[in-house]
């Protein structure tokens, strides 16, 4: 589990295609290499991926993850190349501050940035969501976009907007987001369960 509070921006430094649709991605980060355990889960711009190797490359700590065919097809991971910047978050520990909302790292689909309005020190980003997921998105509710916990501002049909504060613009990849860009979308877990309970009635 995660909170959607990004703790580092990583950079893809190597991409290696392996057998049966498996792709190994090596990601440079600012974490202490000794603090990264093999088998640990790290959210990489949304998807929860398992650390399978680690090393120092020059003065940069790096960890490697394997992305399977489904992850490559259903998330933006299939588009990651050397130089791609990723929002990183370590797995939540019992006792950690829950600053965002509960995020599983299981991407539901892709949202597309339809409009960007840069305000004074802030930005309003408007996304379109796949129709099956739009019903889980509500004003004042939560979503995770590329692993970032955000509060929904407005909703209209399949479109929703979020306001990005200066801190989030500075410490995540959202500051460089461009219209037309696809992002990994995870809807609020609670909204999904509520909808399921209502369907069962």
**Which residues are tagged catalytic?**
2, 41, 48, 50, 68, 106, 151
Nearest to 25 by CA among 86, 90, 109: 86
DSSP code of residue 140: T
156-172 burial code (b ≥16 CB/10 A, e <16): eebbbbbbbeeebbebb
Backbone angles phi, psi at 49, to 5 degrees: -125, 150
List the alpha helices (DSSP H) in 75-152.
131-134
In angstroms, the CA 168 to CA 107 distance is 20
Backbone φ/ψ region at 71: left (φ over 0), alpha (ψ -120 to 50), beta:
alpha
- Say how many CA atoms lie within 13 Å of 40 toward its Cβ: 20
CA triplet 140, 163, 122: central angle to 5 degrees? 155
Rounded to 10 degrees, what is the CA torsion of 124, 113, 105, 109? 140
């Amino acid at each position: 589990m995660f909170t959607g509070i990004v703790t580092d921006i990583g950079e893809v430094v190597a991409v290696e295609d392996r057998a049966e649709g498996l792709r190994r991605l090596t990601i440079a980060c600012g974490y202490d290499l000794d603090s990264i355990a093999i088998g640990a889960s790290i959210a990489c711009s949304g998807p929860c991926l398992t650390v399978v190797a680690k090393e120092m490359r020059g003065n940069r700590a790096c960890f490697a993850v394997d992305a399977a065919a489904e992850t490559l097809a259903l998330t933006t991971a299939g588009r990651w190349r050397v130089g791609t910047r990723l929002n990183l978050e370590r797995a939540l520990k019992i006792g950690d501050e829950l600053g965002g909302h509960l995020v599983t790292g299981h991407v539901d689909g892709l949202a597309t940035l339809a409009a960007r309005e840069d305000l004074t020190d802030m930005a309003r980003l408007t996304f379109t969501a796949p129709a099956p997921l739009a019903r889980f998105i509500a004003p004042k509710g939560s979503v995770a976009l590329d692993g970032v916990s955000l509060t929904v501002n407005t909703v209209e049909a399949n479109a929703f907007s979020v306001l990005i504060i200066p801190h989030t613009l500075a410490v995540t990849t959202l500051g460089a987001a461009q219209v037309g860009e696809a992002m990994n979308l995870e809807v609020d877990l609670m909204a999904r369960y509520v909808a399921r309970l209502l369907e069962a009635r």
